[in-house]
Structure 1
Amino acid sequence: MSPTKPEKTKVYEGVLHQLKQFIEDKAVKPGDKLPSERELSEQLQVGRSSIREALRALELLGLIETRRGEGTFLKEYKAYHMVELLSTFILNKNRTREELRIAKKMLEKEILFLSLGRLTSSDIEALEECLFPFCESSHDSFFKKMYVLQNQELLLSMWQLISSYLQTVEQSEYTAEWHEEVLRVLEREEKESLLSLFDDTAGEEYPNKTEDGGGP
């Protein structure tokens, strides 16, 4: 029988803590190469899939980087405490989809507000390119570009981690029309219209979103 979501969460959190301890014990410094997934799996005595998920979380936070053909390397270790903070908060079994959606919406609204009056015509064009042709990954590409344009690396890391976890428990859809309206509102610099894009659909956290209908 496969583990339930709470059990998987405990394993995931445990692996993050073990990786943290491993880095401290081995005095791994920024720029140093980490062992392979197989080696970490053997040393920490956990499955490779759990190691892979934990490494993905670290990479989304900007704490490690994977270089094709070379391996995985530690980046700025001084920010490592953020992993424990975010993983404990986001992956706690008592947290709900509702809280994740609200956190994601807050981060998306914040970057849109930060972008009001700061986007050039070339920025708008770059954002439009994220939407055409519109596909399943367009929403992520669009908002990632927003964070990059405003040089908000911390917000980007938080948004990516929350978004990535939320995608594992429900399916969401965003239409091309909604994103196009976001661009029009940003071009016109209309704060109130920007708010309505998130709040004008009664009972839903996002316009144009569909859920799978299951429980947490």
Structure 2
Amino acid sequence: MRLLFYSCLLFCMISGTNAGAQSAKPVNYLNTGSDISFNGSKFILAWSSHPTALYYKQEYLPAGQSPEKFTDMLMLEVVSSSLTHKDAYDAKVAELTSLKRTNPYVNFETFYHKESDEYLLDFVITANAADGKTIQIAERNIYRYKKYSGSKGETGVILFAVSKRSYGAAAPGFVKSISGETRKDLADKVKRFAFPSITLK
């Protein structure tokens, strides 16, 4: 499971539902380099998509992991349009607020950094069994929304995201572990991440 454009920036459920598998080498639409270093690990470009003229998405994984079933992922997304980073952030918060009414495991924290004019959204979401009580997949995501300004005057949104997943019997413990200083530490690292230079193809 991966993400479609609208599910990630606007209406995301579980990070990771996309339009299909990619067998060929992924295209580096953002010209960011083939790998990104984050939190002491190297993430390699594993999947990319340019489904509309305005939207670009790239996913990076540690060696040995696959987009179909991963435990750690980085994402970079760019929307070149009149959509603002506040619009994207507000839509995601509204979606999580709605999901929280029916899924007791959903929780989130929000942050705004005035100095950089960026929004940070740290959330936990789950895919549950039919009874709604048993967690099948648990995922923590930290989304960082930033204004995009292109070299030709384009404007829009950049999303940098970190996703961590757990499956099956390990998922409930994973959800319980996301709290306190451990939670804050990863969010702070996402906040401090230095964005790579982005040039759209």
TM normalised by structure 2 equals 0.28
Name the one with the larger helix percent: 1
TM normalised by structure 1 equals 0.27
Larger Rg: 1
